[in-house]
Amino acid sequence: MVCQQDPLIRTVCELYYKISALETLSPCRDVNALLTHLVRLCIPPHPVDVSALCSAVQGVRSNLIRLCGEAEGLLEAHFSDLLASFDRPLDHLSLFPYYNNYIKLAQLEYSLLSHHLPGGGTPETVAFIGSGPLPLTSLVLAANHLPAAAFHNYDIDSTANSRARRLVLPDPDLSQRVHFHTDDIMNVTAELGNYDVVFLAALVGMAEEEKARVIVHLAKHMVPGAILMVRSAHGARAFLYPVVDPSDLRGFEFLSVYHPTDEVINSVIVARRTSASIEDPAISGQAMIKKQLHPPPLAGKKCCEIKQFFVDPLNPYGDIAEDLAIEQRSS
């Protein structure tokens, strides 16, 4: 598998090396500068197909997504603690530097959701999987778009839920409608049948196999007709978040996908739980079309080779034995 010689890929790899060498990913000047550079680099439209990258750059991408995910969690925890210092935390959400992005993302997701709900109705129960310490999507949707819906936020981290719960407790409305559950979503079964809509956060299941297992689990326990909102990434933004292909949605009817071109990073996929059993051979065969959606790169293109001992994805702060070197070679 090869990757095209590309200045963007070269810069992404250089930034990865610098980020992985940081002593901490907690918010500070160096972390903020490097991640801001990375995000700005990846926002403009770019034709890169991450599934066609050479294996070395695939390793960079996998580790980079994990590092960015860790940094994002630390940033949210920091601002969640800051907001909790106010008597009315929800009045100060705009202090979070990416708050406006969440406003736009929530508006986008609400518009897509409204288009696909039967009869233009509104959901009564919503679940968000991977809500974290600063559950802005649930908060914005509950306050601005779905004022009667109950929101159930799932996170595997009890500390994240404790932080999030502090933010809504002072609010007389949201404290009654926004709930938090500490559990691995793979252990949640019957409860998933109670929700009209389920949101799947981008960083739940960072590896392709992990994401696929989560989606199959949701299909087994969501009721037919329920809507699944999946966050994905497109183009160079796939260096920041995992990509979900519509063919990965076993047990769901793919309805639509939207790829933002502004500062909102995540793509949004909308799907509906079908009435077919997840064990149905027709569903199992959906993954077969994936190869058709990612044709191989054109012959004759040059690719880059990254010479490096990559860090273990499960131990991203392991020793890096060799500096990043990019050499051009013929494909």
Residue 184's pLDDT band, with cuts at 50, 70 and 90, is: very high
Closest CA to 166 of 139, 188, 184: 139
Whole-angstrom distance, CA of residue 147 vs CA of residue 165: 18
The per-residue pLDDT for 3 is 55
Angle at which helices 7-20 and 29-42 cross, to 10°: 160
pTM to 2 decimal places: 0.83
Give residue 243's region: left, alpha or beta (phi > 0; psi -120 to 50).
Answer: beta
- Mean pLDDT over 2-22 rounds to 87
Q: What is the pLDDT of residues 74-133, one digit of tens each?
A: 999 999 999 999 999 999 999 999 999 999 999 999 999 999 987 778 999 999 999 999
Contact 226, 251 (CB under 8 A): no
pLDDT confidence tier of residue 208, bands split at 50, 70 and 90: confident
**Residue-level pLDDT at 6:** 86
Mean pLDDT of the chain: 85
Each residue's pLDDT tens digit, 254-307: 999 999 999 999 999 999 999 887 764 444 434 333 333 333 332 222 223 222
**pLDDT in the model for residue 280:** 46
Q: Give the per-residue pLDDT at 279.
A: 66
pLDDT for res 29 = 95
> 213-247, pLDDT tens digit by residue?
999 999 999 999 999 999 999 999 999 999 999 98
What is the side-by-side order of every strand in the sheet holding 252-258?
178-182, 150-155, 125-129, 197-200, 227-232, 267-273, 252-258
The closest alpha carbon to 222, from 279, 182, 272, belongs to: 272
pLDDT at residue 120, as a whole number? 72
Q: Is the dihedral of CA 209, 161, 200, 37 positive or negative?
A: negative
